[in-house]
A and B are shown apart, each in its own frame.
Chain A
Amino acid sequence: MSETPLDVVSISGVVKRFGDFTAIHDASLTVRRGEVHAIVGENGAGKSTLMNILYGLLPRDAGTIELFGRPVTFSGPAEAIAAGVGMVHQHFKLAPSFTVADNIILGSEPLAGYGRIDRARAERDTAAISRRFGLDLDPRAVVGALPVGLRQRVEILKTLYREAQILILDEPTAVLTPQETRELFATMRTLAESGHSIVFITHKLREVLAVSNRISVMRQGRIVATLDNEGVTAQEIAGLMVGRSVLLRVKKAKAEARDEVLLKVDGLEARGERGEAAVDGLSFAVRSGEIVGLAGVQGNGQDELVECIAGLRRPVAGSVEICGTKAVADPRRNRAAGLAYVPADRGGVGLSLASGIWENLTVGHIEEFGRGPFLAIKAARARAAELIRRFDVRGATLDKPAGSLSGGNQQKVQIARELTRDARLVIAEQPSQGVDIGAIESIHRTLVEMRDAGRAVFVVSADLDEIFSLSDRILVIYRGRIVADLVASETDPETVGRYMGGLEEAPPAAAASVSEAADHVH
């Protein structure tokens, strides 16, 4: 083979089944040398499944894959790596207590005889490749101490160290700030120019348009189109993804916030799992008739804050008031005070995946169906059936375990259960995480309806699009403090992004106290 063919990867007719369910129907795709190729699609469209097949993590049921013109069948990632394919997963697979160099050589260590690891060479090699690709990194830094963006660089360098020609990045921007995302895109361009091919899985359309050469759209296990990134609009791609046109931003009237404070957090302090001050003297208020979005990079205290409000965590200091009642470390009482809470951790907190859907819809409403000590199961099931229809939970039957639903439909189950409670404060944590575009729209519409009905809605999200789509007011959390309190219509994602990255300190007036925070809306 004298010259490298233009198509470095050629997938044709690949089929993948999980039992009765066909995840990939007849998918065909080519990746060229030196291109950034975006694969977009809703959750469940089969993007990651297809890439896992290419990376050797899953066997295919039919079809062929050619790499550099030769047919290949990988029985595991090791073979894929040897053939020049590297993959960076959404959740990093790094040893946090090891140094950058250790992590990069892990699995293919340079040896210095007698089976000893040649650390000096490891550090030299690491420094060399990070210089070559312009990915600045200290080989001796401990990975656990690095910010997320740099950890991702370690993952990318790791594949490059193994001489990957084809890099698969699975939702690489999900955990990054806008600034880190921009740096990642620059890296992707540099790599493409040096002859690498990059497959970029995402469902954020703006990113696709910003960085890729070609775009393949997947829907229900099929590649429905591959487009050159020229003159394509986000709306067109979104339409291809869901098979119909969608609203990217939910329509809503101007907020009519009333003066009634339904959530009041005052001087709250809480510790995280490792005893660190995760929430560090935090105050804000959410009033009836407004949607307040909490923006921030994951891991800046959002989880601990919400757990304190829900009663799942005991704060160290400060107080939380829900509809005028002081909150306590007991979810039962906080719910009774008027809290509806849609948690981000669907499988761990918000649902019992092994329980039937009707049971998941009934928890939190047990008293409504109580007849003395008995439970009116027929009535509870009838109501569950009604909720499944009303919230359009697809593929649901009453007795099917909640875990058998797709992410978006699990989310609908949670939302159906929480929002039909008689609760005036709604907290939605990552409401569209792992949810299809079509379903996001209906979830967002529901939250806006809640606001218009005079409830107070507090949305916590790592996705700035979502924050801007929903919020009337945006709070930014950074290292456990509110660093900005902004009116959504008067700011832009870049500004919020700077606060999220801790690059800008808040103007002193903004985050100071509850009363001032409230003043902002008027």
Chain B
Amino acid sequence: MSTEALDAAPSFPLAGLVKPLVQPLVAVAIAVLVGGLLVLALGENPIEVYSILVHGSLVGWPNFLVTLQMMSPLLFTGLAVAISFRAGLWNIGAEGQMIMGALAAGIVGYAVDLPTALHIPLALIAAFAGGLAWALLPALLRVWLNLNELVVCLMLNPIALLLSGYVSTHLLKAPGPTNKLPDIADTAALPTFSLYSQVNAGFVIGLVLCLVFAVVNGGTKKGFEWKIMGLNPRFAYYGGIRVPLQAVLVMMLSGGIAGLGGAEQVLGEYRAFYDNFSPGYGFDGIAVAMLANFHPVGVVLAAFLFGALNGGSAVLQMMTGLSKYLVQVLQFIIVLILAAQFSWAFLGSRRKAPPAHAAPAAPKEE
């Protein structure tokens, strides 16, 4: 056998960078193709439509800044989903966790009187804690009673929405016709950078978090343990990894990060908690995480793509007869194709795997 194959460094370093991009790019390409046919069926020119989408989201400083604004919440929810899925925990409750984080940030933002240097951190901590609390329940139920966290997370989403609705339309409602909490104090506001878009310091926080978790996943003991846990929890437990404890930790971090996404919205974009503010960022986060293959850097790229699509969709609606929901159709097609790829890989690994006795033998020595 060759001993070179065992050397620590991969022989072709770029291969490691290119390979993970293939699957998502194929999904996006197919979605673009199918979307094009759809546009054609609706009587519009697909090339024109796509150039409007690209132009409307990327070309020109204002358009680009809108894309960054649109991708900001997805950085958080995408990362939240990615780290939990990677550890084998199906946290599909990022929507509810983000809402609870937003509510906590909204309350601390207006009800507390502090200088900026303390007010912003406190509001962020509150948001993190709000999301964390909403993820802790499914985590504990999972660890103690072996209840499926996927189901519990899913059920907690509407509860978060209705609870925050009750608070913002009755309990702490701001005077006036809108269902919202009072505006946050200026001392709690995350600074924005430009008049063209609401992109704010929250975007930077999201970006930094993604980079931090890229390091955590790729270079720390915890990141290693979470990965093993995600692929075979029984093996991880047998090997001395504290699986229940780590599961709770990952869920808490995941929920907290989703909660910070809520803070980005409330402290940065809206400057108040509005009832029903999220168009489903938590669910889009699942799509982003899947497209990213659960890699934090991939989350940045995937969130950028979804942000650009969302940003371009407004321009699209203005310039053509098409609805902005066309963009959502594109996003759903991407998700469908990714889901198909995942199940295909799963089925394939079962079908193709030769029976154990036919597993590839060692290189011949005759």
CB atoms of A359 and B222 under 8 A apart? no
Instruction: Please name the residue on chain A nearest to B239 by beta carbon.
Output: A363
Question: CB of B227 within 8 A of chain A?
Answer: yes
- One of B59-67, B302-310, B348-356 at the interface: B348-356
Question: CB of A114 within 8 A of chain B?
Answer: no
Chain A contacts of B222 at CB under 8 A?
A: 373
Interface string of A326-337 (1 = CB under 8 A from B): 000001100110
CB atoms of B1 and A374 under 8 A apart? no
Of residues 331 through 359 on chain B, the ones whose CB sits less than 8 Å from some CB of chain A are 352-359
- One of B107-115, B164-172, B191-199, B229-237 at the interface: B229-237
Chain A contacts of B364 at CB under 8 A?
A: 220
Question: CB of A509 within 8 A of chain B?
Answer: no
Interface string of A41-54 (1 = CB under 8 A from B): 00111111100100
Q: How far is the CA of A156 from the CA of B20 in the complex (A)?
A: 50
Q: How far is the CA of A141 from the CA of B352 in the complex (A)?
A: 38
CB atoms of B240 and A331 under 8 A apart? yes
Instruction: Please name the residue on chain B nearest to A18 by beta carbon.
Output: B354
A-B contact pairs, 25 of them (CB 8 A): A18-B354, A19-B352, A23-B354, A44-B361, A243-B366, A312-B237, A331-B239, A348-B232, A348-B235, A351-B235, A352-B231, A353-B232, A354-B231, A354-B232, A362-B224, A363-B228, A363-B236, A363-B241, A388-B6, A394-B362, A394-B363, A395-B361, A403-B353, A406-B356, A406-B361
CB atoms of A355 and B232 under 8 A apart? yes
CB atoms of B242 and A332 under 8 A apart? yes
Chain B contacts of A399 at CB under 8 A?
A: 10
Q: How many residues of A contact B (CB 8 A)?
A: 59
CB atoms of B224 and A398 under 8 A apart? no
Chain B contacts of A382 at CB under 8 A?
A: 8
Instruction: Please name the residue on chain B nearest to A379 by beta carbon.
Output: B8
Chain A contacts of B219 at CB under 8 A?
A: 374-375, 377
Instruction: Please name the residue on chain B nearest to A355 by beta carbon.
Output: B231
Question: CB of A261 within 8 A of chain B?
Answer: no
Q: How far is the CA of A375 from the CA of B219 in the complex (A)?
A: 6
Q: How far is the CA of A350 from the CA of B10 in the complex (A)?
A: 26
Question: CB of A119 within 8 A of chain B?
Answer: no
Of residues 349 through 395 on chain A, the ones whose CB sits less than 8 Å from some CB of chain B are 349-355, 359, 362-364, 366, 370, 373-375, 377-378, 381-382, 385, 388-389, 394-395
Question: Given A23-B354, A349-B238, A366-B221 in contact, is the A44-B359 Cβ separation under 8 Å?
Answer: yes
Question: Given A21-B360, A394-B1 in contact, is the A332-B232 Cβ separation under 8 Å?
Answer: no
Shortest Cβ distance from residue B12 to the other chain A in the assembled complex, whole angstroms: 12
Chain B contacts of A471 at CB under 8 A?
A: none
**Which of B6, B220, B360 interacts with A397 by CB under 8 Å?**
B6
Chain A contacts of B232 at CB under 8 A?
A: 348, 351-355
CB atoms of B235 and A373 under 8 A apart? no
Q: How many residues of B contact A (CB 8 A)?
A: 41
Shortest Cβ distance from residue A57 to the other chain B in the assembled complex, whole angstroms: 9
Question: CB of B225 within 8 A of chain A?
Answer: yes
Question: Given A19-B352, A434-B356 in contact, is the A395-B240 Cβ separation under 8 Å?
Answer: no
Chain A CB within 10 Å — which of B5, B240, B352 has the most? Answer: B240
Question: CB of A407 within 8 A of chain B?
Answer: yes
CB atoms of A373 and B220 under 8 A apart? yes
CB atoms of B357 and A47 under 8 A apart? yes
Question: CB of A310 within 8 A of chain B?
Answer: yes
Question: CB of A405 within 8 A of chain B?
Answer: yes
Q: How far is the CA of A351 from the CA of B228 in the complex (A)?
A: 10
Of residues 101 through 141 on chain B, the ones whose CB sits less than 8 Å from some CB of chain A are none
Question: Given A359-B224, A385-B7, A399-B10 in contact, is the A341-B238 Cβ separation under 8 Å?
Answer: yes
Chain A contacts of B358 at CB under 8 A?
A: 18, 21, 23, 44, 46, 48-49
Instruction: Please name the residue on chain A nearest to B242 by beta carbon.
Output: A332
Q: How far is the CA of A375 from the CA of B240 in the complex (A)?
A: 16
Q: Which 5 A-B pairs give the minimum distances between C-beta atoms? A: A394-B362, A352-B232, A363-B239, A385-B6, A332-B240
Interface string of B231-255 (1 = CB under 8 A from A): 1101111111110000000000000
CB atoms of B228 and A352 under 8 A apart? yes
Question: Given A363-B239, A385-B6 in contact, is the A374-B357 Cβ separation under 8 Å?
Answer: no
CB atoms of A389 and B6 under 8 A apart? yes
CB atoms of B227 and A374 under 8 A apart? no
Question: CB of B3 within 8 A of chain A?
Answer: yes
CB atoms of B221 and A378 under 8 A apart? no
Question: CB of A343 within 8 A of chain B?
Answer: yes
Interface string of A476-503 (1 = CB under 8 A from B): 0000000000000000000000000000
Shortest Cβ distance from residue B87 to the other chain A in the assembled complex, whole angstroms: 13
CB atoms of A398 and B6 under 8 A apart? yes
Shortest Cβ distance from residue B332 to the other chain A in the assembled complex, whole angstroms: 28
Question: CB of A404 within 8 A of chain B?
Answer: yes
Interface string of B41-68 (1 = CB under 8 A from A): 0000000000000000000000000000
Question: CB of A409 within 8 A of chain B?
Answer: yes
**Which of A243, A359, A374, A395 interacts with B228 by CB under 8 Å?**
A359
Question: Given A354-B232, A374-B220 in contact, is the A404-B6 Cβ separation under 8 Å?
Answer: no
Shortest Cβ distance from residue B306 to the other chain A in the assembled complex, whole angstroms: 28
CB atoms of B225 and A366 under 8 A apart? yes
Of residues 34 through 80 on chain A, the ones whose CB sits less than 8 Å from some CB of chain B are 43-49, 52
Q: How far is the CA of A396 from the CA of B8 in the complex (A)?
A: 13
Shortest Cβ distance from residue B224 to the other chain A in the assembled complex, whole angstroms: 5
Chain A contacts of B8 at CB under 8 A?
A: 378, 381-382, 385, 398
Q: How far is the CA of A48 from the CA of B364 in the complex (A)?
A: 20
A-B contact sample (16 more), CB < 8 A, given A23-B358, A363-B241, A373-B220: A18-B354, A44-B359, A48-B355, A331-B238, A349-B238, A355-B228, A363-B239, A374-B220, A374-B221, A385-B6, A389-B6, A394-B1, A394-B363, A395-B362, A395-B363, A399-B10
Chain A CB within 10 Å — which of B3, B223, B239, B363 has the most? Answer: B239
Q: How far is the CA of A450 from the CA of B361 in the complex (A)?
A: 28
CB atoms of A404 and B360 under 8 A apart? yes
Q: How far is the CA of A351 from the CA of B356 in the complex (A)?
A: 15
Q: How far is the CA of A389 from the CA of B6 in the complex (A)?
A: 9
**Which of A44, A52, A349 interacts with B234 by CB under 8 Å?**
A349
CB atoms of B354 and A407 under 8 A apart? no
CB atoms of A407 and B240 under 8 A apart? no
**Which of B220, B242, B360 interacts with A395 by CB under 8 Å?**
B360
Interface string of A254-288 (1 = CB under 8 A from B): 00000000000000000000000000000000000
Instruction: Please name the residue on chain A nearest to B2 by beta carbon.
Output: A397
Chain A contacts of B224 at CB under 8 A?
A: 359, 362, 366, 375
Shortest Cβ distance from residue A104 to the other chain B in the assembled complex, whole angstroms: 26
Chain A contacts of B240 at CB under 8 A?
A: 331-332, 335-336, 363-364, 366
Chain B contacts of A395 at CB under 8 A?
A: 1, 360-363
Chain B contacts of A359 at CB under 8 A?
A: 224, 227-228
Shortest Cβ distance from residue A483 to the other chain B in the assembled complex, whole angstroms: 29
Shortest Cβ distance from residue B18 to the other chain A in the assembled complex, whole angstroms: 15
Interface string of A395-431 (1 = CB under 8 A from B): 1111100011111010000000000000000000000
Chain A CB within 10 Å — which of B222, B360, B364 has the most? Answer: B360
Chain B CB within 10 Å — which of A52, A374, A389, A407 has the most? Answer: A374
Q: How far is the CA of A389 from the CA of B234 in the complex (A)?
A: 27
Shortest Cβ distance from residue B17 to the other chain A in the assembled complex, whole angstroms: 14
